[in-house]
Each structure stands twice: as structure tokens, then as C-alpha cells.
Amino acid sequence: MRNGTSYGTTGLIDRFMQYLRGVVPLGTRNQLALPSLPGEGGWDTRIRWTIATQSVELGVAVRLSADAIEVDRLPRTDPAVAPVLIAPFIPLRKKQMLEQTGWSYWDTTGNALIRLTKPVVLVRQQGALKDPDPEVKPIARLRSLKGQAASEVMVGLLANEGRTASIRDFARQYKLPASTVSRVVSLLRDENYLQPTGPGPIVIEDRLAAAQRWAADYSFEKTFHAGRYFSLFGPDLALQRINDAGVPYAITGVTAANEWLRGRGRTASLPATELWVYTTDLAALQRAADLAPDRREGTIRVAECEFLNRGEPARLVDGLRYVTPWRNVGDLLAAPGRLAGIGEDLAQDLIEGRWMADV
């Protein structure tokens, strides 16, 4: 069901009656009355419409979405009532079905067919062919935030200072399916991580708490199936070779956190004993750094991802690329021990505005 009075049952009836007042030539008697209670006879309302000296009773069925228009389940009609279906939008196929079954119709985009015999009225108008405001319908309720797509939504929500205007605007900005964004937002709302803003903007109540909730399901290692590798060049030289080769990548983990701290004149939180890297081309990165799989002692962890190709950018600092800081927060919060503590400190600094988070 859509929000706002324009798309509620009462709002649609009011707008339909306003439309009827404009289809009769000026100077002709045109009166409308609501003689029945909602629900009487299976109708949402009945409208007595008087044109000149003749009156007709319209039986009005209201549907708040195109999916709810099931022509074979509409109220049964009788000769004394002229049936009309009204909705925010009526697709072409359903308009055709309504006309074939003797129904009139009207929607807020301008599609209309008013066909009466007593008095004789025939009005046909063409409105929108596509729904200008389609509803976002989640395919299924999300139960966790462990997926890669969910991580992109969480990074974006947290980076926007925990606030975004709407699901549709957010999805467009981050090049994500609106259904995916809607499912993540629904989970956060159901678990009370969002402020109750009604139809207003999406606002996270506590960004650190929301990030910790995300990290409970998500991890750099498991979500992206990060593998461990060894390079004879060592992590630093291996990273330089990856950078020189032009392979798409972004650094995360302690290395990225330390870069943030050093850039703000602060001491590194913990020595980086491993290099964590995202890439969109694992094979090319392996070749560039001459990486060999080493599940036990490999100090280079590499995860293949898609988000670097979409709306989540990498940061360029001194010629090297780093993930956005909230991605870094999630990767660290999901790690054990002191790494999670670094992630919490990083999140707190971002929230308190000790430095500017460029996404």
C-alpha cells in the first residue's frame, strides 16, 4: 500500500469525484453524492451522479496497487449500479480486461473509461502506459546481513551519516537493485536500528550498533571467500607490483586503518602483520604479485568482489587504493580480538567527525 492520502482509499475517491466534476460541459447540472457507507454491497463506496435531469449510481471498487487489480474477483454487479474501478495506476492489459467485462475505470495518471447508458456518457482518455511510481516489493524477507549485496547497502547507509532520503534514491546512487536495498532496510527496521520517521528519510539510530549488527553476519573472509596467499616478494613489494600492473584493487584491514590514523597525525593502532586486499580480477592480481595459495601461513589475503565496479569507490592515497572507511570498519569489526577493537575505534571516530569520511 502506498503512503500518503493521494493513494489511500479516501484520497482516491476524492480525486475521482473531482475528476467527474470536470467531464460535464459547463452550465450542465452536475451533482455528486455519497449515499452509502464504505463496504456496503461489496463496494468501497457508491456515488450518486446526477447529470442534467438523470441520475446514475456508480459502484466504486478501489485498488491501491496494480497487483491488487484481480478482475475476476471484483464485486458482482447488478443493473442498478454502474461499476467503476479506480487505482493509482491501471496497466494496459487490465484496462482491456475491465472494458471487456463492462467495467469503467479511472487512475491518477489520466487513464479513464467512463461508459454509461442512462444517462449516456462515454469518456475515454489515455494516461501513462507505465507506472510512474512503482512500488518496491521485496522478494522475500531478509534474515541476515551476511551477503555481498547486503554489505554494499550497509556501507552506503553508514557512509551517508546514517541517513538517506528514500530507498529509490539510494538504489540509484549506489547502482543497486531497489529490492535489495528494501530488504536490508526492512531488516534494520524490524530489529529497531532505524528511527521511526514514517514516510520520511531512512535514519539509522546508532551507527556503531548497526555496524556491529552487520558484522555479526558479515566478514571479509567468509562473505567474499578471501583466500590466503604467499609471495616471494613479500606483502609490500607484492602490493607495489599489483599497483604497477593496473589491476583493480583496494586495501582494507589494519593497513587501511593505519593509513587513516597516520593521515590524521595519529599513531598506528596495531602493526599490520597481514595485507588484506579486494580485487575485481583475482587471476590478474595473482599473476601480478606471483601469489601462491598458502592456507596456513599466507600473509596476503585476497577477496574477489564486484562493489569496486559499482557505486562504492576506492580511495586513492599516495598512489595506493583503499576501501571506503565504513567498509574498513565492517571488515575489522567482524574479525577476532584486537582487530574488532580497531574497527570500533575507527567507527567511533567517523561518527564523532574527527575526520571527514569521503564515503
Q: What is the spatial distance between Cα 178 and Cα 172, in angstroms, rounded to a whole number?
A: 8
Write the DSSP symbol of residue 134.
P
Query: What does the alpha-carbon distance between residue 189 and residue 354 come to, in Å, rounded to a whole number?
Result: 28
Mean pLDDT of 44-60: 91
Task: Reply yes or no on whether the pLDDT at 31 is more than 80.
Answer: yes
At residue 7 the predicted structure's pLDDT band, cuts being 50, 70 and 90, is low
* Residue 294 pLDDT > 70: yes
Looking only at the bridges linking them, the beta strands covering 320-322 and 112-116 are unpaired
- Tell me what pLDDT residue 173 has: 87
Neighbours of 48 (CB within 10 A): 14
Determine if the pTM surpasses 0.85.
Answer: no
Greatest distance between any 2 Cα atoms in the chain: 96
Phi-psi region of 18 (alpha: psi -120 to 50; beta: other; left: phi over 0): alpha
Per-residue pLDDT, averaged over 317-345, amounts to: 94
Assess contact for 217 and 146: CB atoms under 8 A: yes
DSSP 186-214: HHHHHTT-B---TTS-EEBS-HHHHHHHH
Least confident of 3-12, 44-53, 139-148: 3-12
pLDDT, position 115: 93
pLDDT at res. 279 = 96
Q: In this predicted model, which residue has the larger pLDDT, 20 or 168?
A: 20
119: preceding bond cis by omega (within 30 degrees): yes
Q: What is the pLDDT of residues 97-151, one digit of tens each?
A: 999 999 999 999 999 999 998 888 899 999 999 988 776 554 567 889 999 999 9
- Select the more confidently predicted residue: 328 or 269: 328
For 247, phi then psi, to 5°, come to: -75, 135
pLDDT of residue 1: 31
Contact 154, 328 (CB under 8 A): no
Q: Give Cα 9 to chain centroid, integer Å.
A: 25
More confident residue, 316 or 5: 316
pLDDT band with cut points at 50, 70 and 90 for residue 169:
confident
pLDDT at 135: 65
Closest CA to 56 of 75, 17, 82: 82
Residues sharing a CB contact under 8 Å with residue 136, sequence separation 6 or more, in sequence order: 167, 168, 178, 179, 181, 182
Please count the residues of the chain. 359
Angle at 227 between CA 225 and CA 228, to 5 degrees: 155
- C-alpha–C-alpha distance, residues 354 and 351, integer Å: 8
Q: Is a pLDDT exceeding 70 seen at residue 3?
A: no
Mean pLDDT calculated for residue range 248-265:
89
pLDDT band at 167 (very low <50, low <70, confident <90, very high): confident
What's the rounded mean pLDDT across residues 222-232?
94
What's the mean per-residue pLDDT of the chain? 87
pLDDT score of 344: 92
Select from 19, 187, 135 the least CA-distant residue to 32: 19
CA 248 to CA 277: how far, in whole Å?
A: 10
- The domains of the chain, with CATH numbers, are 5-125 (3.40.1350), 148-217 (1.10.10.10), 224-352 (3.30.460)
Contact call for residues 253 and 277 (beta carbons, < 8 A): no
